[in-house]
Every structure is written in C-alpha cells, then in structure tokens.
Amino acid sequence: MREALHACAKTHPDIALFLWESPTLSLDTVDASFHLRIGGSSDSSIIAFPLAQDEIMIVVHPNNPIQHLSKDDLQDIFSGKVNDWNDLGRLSESIQVWIYPEGDDLRQVFDLVILGSEQNTSRAFIAPDPDAMLEAVSSDEAAIGYLPKSWLTENVKAIELSETDVESLTQTVLAVTKANPQGAALILLSCLQGDIGKAEIDNLYKIPGD
C-alpha cells in the first residue's frame, strides 16, 4: 500500500505521512491514525475500510518439481506428518517448513483454512514477515511456506490449489481504526477508496467488487 498512500498524500501537501512496519504481535496502534491488516477480525470495536483483496499462496523453490498439492497434502506437511518430499514422490530431501509467528494475520488465515484442527509442526521455522519468508523459500530447494500474491517474485514458485481452497485463502486488505477517522486520516482513506488510490492499488491487488 506504500505507493498508494504516497500518491494520496501528494494530493494534499499539508498532510505529513509517516509509515512503519511491525509484526502483528508487536503492532502499537495507539498513536496511529489507522493500520493495515489482511483478513477479518473478531474485534467488534474496530472500524474497517476494505481496500483490496489478496490471495495467500503456497510457495516453494523454483527448482522444486512439484506443481500441485491438495489440502490434505498441506495438512500433512505443515503438521509434520510428512517430513520428506520423497513421500510425495518428489525430491529426496527433508521438507523445510516455514510459517509466521503465532497471532500473525497470514498465519491465522492459513491455520484456519488449511490446518483446521491440526497444529503446526514443532520443526517449523519462523519467518517474522513476508520479506523474510520470500528470502527463506527462495534460498532453499527443500523449503515450503506461504505469501500474499502481491509479494510473489520469480524467485519462488506458487503451488496450484483447488478452486475452493483458493477462494478461502483470498482475503480482504483492510485499513483499521478504533474510531471514526477525522482530518488527514479521513482524507487519506477516502482517497485510497477513490480513483487515485485504486489506480495504484490495482497494480498489485484485486479491487473488491471488480
């Protein structure tokens, strides 16, 4: 959303825009006009503005020959029931599972949709954010993890899933605030949902309703 936010801020020179990134568990929203998250929330006190939709993609190293995994395959891999790619008829290497910290937006969606009642394997490595996940999977032929589609590069390969799983893993990107936005925050949010913001957002995301 960085480019979209800057594009909107430029339309109002009197707005001073400060952006910072933080893992969900250490996100301090007290002094923030609003913050961005992916997926819904059970907190009824928040006010959420939908900005885009992003799909959480299962990713492996480009040299991994695997093309498709079922939901059952993913459950077995991420729960630790299957620990070697050879068990799936692929590489003869131990699977290196990468996940996000507990409480992270992406992990919450993935655990709910894919793992269900299963638990992540204790052998999983932790990537603090998508940038770290991208680096980890792109540098290890035996690695598997997941990324928002907007983060994909040629350094990783997305795995094909069923249409139902793809739909379930497609989540809304939200601007969240605890109170009705006022002043500069309201101007920015209105711009993000308007033509200027959508023009930038559409370069990376799917716009809700399109």
**204 class by beta-carbon count within 10 Å (0-12 exposed, 13-18 middle, 19+ buried):** middle
pLDDT confidence band for 44 (50 / 70 / 90): low
Greater pLDDT, 83 or 28: 83
pLDDT value of position 99: 97
Picking from 73, 70, 82, the residue whose alpha carbon sits closest to that of residue 165 is: 70
Kindly state the percentage of the chain with pLDDT values over 90.
50
Q: Walk me through the domains of the chain, giving residue ranges and CATH numbers.
A: 2-37+45-51+172-201 (no CATH), 54-168 (3.40.190.10)
**Lookup: tokens for 134:** 């991208």
pLDDT value of position 71: 92
pLDDT value of position 148: 93
Angle in degrees, 0-180, between the axes of helices 2-10 and 183-192, rounded to the nearest 10: 120
Q: List, in order, residues 6 or more apart from 92 with CB less than 8 Å away.
A: 84, 85, 86
pLDDT value of position 43: 64
pTM (predicted TM-score): 0.85
State pLDDT tens for residues 48-66. 899 999 999 999 999 999 9
Give the torsion sign (CA, 7, 8, 13, 19): negative
pLDDT value of position 63: 92
Picking from 139, 112, 124, 4, the residue whose alpha carbon sits closest to that of residue 56 is: 112
State pLDDT tens for residues 99-135. 999 888 899 999 999 999 899 999 999 999 999 999 9
pLDDT confidence band for 138 (50 / 70 / 90): very high
| DSSP E strand stretches across 34-189 | 35-38, 47-60, 96-99, 125-126, 143-148, 157-158, 170-177
